[in-house]
Structure 1
């Protein structure tokens, strides 16, 4: 299942590269995980051309956080080399609902329809965020290992992620971990979500792992699966 994360107006060139990395048959099926105001600097309502392009794209659009960041802190600087992207991991009920409501409003204004699915940055959300999603009328949310509806239905589909932060050692370690994942999944025929982010384009070794996997999938006859083909259709 193809997914493109961190979609925002500041990465239009990267969006082309990510889309083109997928086999041609998979591109129209790619889910676009849209950040309504990336880093507080790219609100959708100030970029109508980019919004028009996304509206024309056939793939499902998913709400992906609000700004995708809570700013810098020591842990994330040392462990990821990035700002704190775990935007919905530890918010209070009031703040979680406020950020989700703002995010939903920007998304709805841009696309002319309310988002029905949500994916928290880094797939990390706490109970307060889950409760707020229910109060705001969402159908479901995405975690790293599954899709889940607010009514409690679940479908287990693991995600492979190539976004390893900005520290070289993390890229090397996670590439090795993914190699093991790929061997198991390819051998078992496991359905999985192939998620791409603009960040991995800047790391040649990691991007090569992406393109090598795409070639292997094509060579071995794997077929793309779109969201509507799950039992959430």
Structure 2
């Protein structure tokens, strides 16, 4: 079976309207068979207030998977070398876990996991770092934090265990015209290039709703994958039949 894993990133009270719009956008293709990546306190000024926590519980009860997506989603670390390049080019100050040491990464992971699990009344599906960026200490902390799954831009894996899916995430960028155009070109290429890959991941962000061209590309991409029989799936499915995910 060829799988389609869809996710909404940066789920927070700050982006509640955008999350609702993205849910409506994805529904014709995946229904509620998708994942939400939840930020505990976006940029230190948008904590999970009770009303939003109730919505998260409702979504989880409906079958939407819930991932911990950092605590602040803001990168306050000083970087050198390769990490500095990643921090500058791959994200706009949002790679929270790119510069954290093991102890601080583990502390934030545990806090986020506890908060999310208390909110939804069930285990978190896993952890996905903001901007898919991890320090070595953060990668090492995933196992100690007790997450079932983790993801970066190239793969999904069991912390301390096997890789269960490979291939680039199809995603879009909205923070500049140049990045938006580049992401449109990448999505156009990937929706053809990934057709034979067992597991395809598509990720959308609140900023996508600000650019009609990105929304049209999201529609075309999801339609291209589902039209050829690819089925919406849960990340948890990778744990029950991982070989189907890495056979290509």
Q: Report TM bin, short chain.
A: 0.7 to 0.9
Task: Give yes or no for the alignment of 1:38 onto 2:42.
Answer: yes
Contact 1:70–1:87 (CA under 8 A) maintained in structure 2: yes
Match in the other structure for 1:148: 157
Match in the other structure for 1:60: 65
Task: Give yes or no for the alignment of 1:103 onto 2:112.
Answer: yes
Match of 2:232 among 207, 224, 230: 224
Residue ranges of structure 2 left out of the alignment (5+ in a row): 79-83, 242-248
Contact 2:191–2:225 (CA under 8 A) maintained in structure 1: no
Contact 2:7–2:36 (CA under 8 A) maintained in structure 1: yes
Distance 2:125 2:230 in 1: 28
Distance 1:28 1:35 in 2: 20
Distance 1:72 1:206, change over 3 A: farther
Contact 2:34–2:233 (CA under 8 A) maintained in structure 1: no
SS of the aligned residue for 2:169 comes to strand
How far does the alpha carbon of each residue in 1:89-133 deviate from its partner, in whole angstroms, 9 at most, with x for none?
121223222322332333233233453510001111122112222
Task: Give yes or no for the alignment of 1:209 onto 2:217.
Answer: yes
Between stretches 210-219 and 128-137, larger displacement belongs to: 210-219
Distance 1:204 1:78, change over 3 A: farther
Residue ranges of structure 1 left out of the alignment (5+ in a row): none
Match in the other structure for 1:51: 53
Distance 2:160 2:88 in 1: 38
Matches for 1:151-230 after TM superposition, within 5 Å:
151-186=160-195, 188=196, 190-230=198-238
Distance 1:108 1:34 in 2: 11
Distance 1:133 1:192 in 2: 23
Distance 1:162 1:97, change over 3 A: same
Q: 1:65: Cα distance to partner?
A: 0.9
Contact 2:56–2:119 (CA under 8 A) maintained in structure 1: no
What's the TM-score, normalizing by structure 1? 0.85
Distance 2:74 2:231 in 1: 34
How far does the alpha carbon of each residue in 1:43-87 deviate from its partner, in whole angstroms, 9 at most, with x for none?
11xx2122112212221111011111125999789746x641111
Match in the other structure for 2:245: none
CA RMSD of aligned residues (A): 2.6
Match of 1:135 among 137, 144, 167: 144
Q: 1:37: Cα distance to partner?
A: 0.9
Contact 1:123–1:144 (CA under 8 A) maintained in structure 2: yes
Between stretches 104-113 and 48-57, larger displacement belongs to: 104-113
Q: 1:165: Cα distance to partner?
A: 4.8
Match in the other structure for 1:28: 32
Distance 1:181 1:72 in 2: 33
Q: Does 1 or 2 have the higher relative contact order (CA < 8 Å, sep 6+)? A: 2
